[in-house]
Amino acid sequence: MHVSLPILGGTNIMGTDMLESMGHKLTIGNNTTISLEPDTKEEADRIYNALSQGSTDCVAPHDEFWGYWGVCLDRFGIRWMFNVPSQQYKQ
């Protein structure tokens, strides 16, 4: 299932999960991913820097063809994705 939860500042928290019933192998880090869509690259960097402290399996936010994207598995085993769509900033 997927979920999208609007929070303050026009930000949506989005999540999805892995299902053994659909043949997915559940492991720490792929069982739940929380995807954040901050308004700016700077906000994405700020949140990434806070959540990536002591984390593993990280890809620092960087420009991709669809936008500014990064991911990390925090020290508690929660995977966070960060995405600022390209139409929200000038490349």
Structural domains in the chain (count) = 1
Please name which of 29, 24, 33 lies closest in space to residue 81, comparing C-alpha atoms. 33
CATH number of the domain within which 59 lies: 3.30.720.110
Query: Which residues lie closer than 8 Å to 39 by C-beta, 6 or more apart?
Result: 9, 10, 11, 84, 88
> In which residue are the tokens 């997915």 written?
24
Query: Which pLDDT tens digit goes with each residue over 19-39?
Result: 777 777 777 666 778 888 898
Containing structural domain, residue 23: 2-88
Whether pTM exceeds 0.85: no
Q: Mean of the pLDDT values across residues 7-26?
A: 75
Residue 73: both structure tokens together: 């598995």
Query: Which pLDDT tens digit goes with each residue over 52-81?
Result: 999 888 899 999 999 999 999 898 888 899
Query: For residue 82, what is the DSSP state?
Result: E
pLDDT of residue 12 exceeding 50:
yes
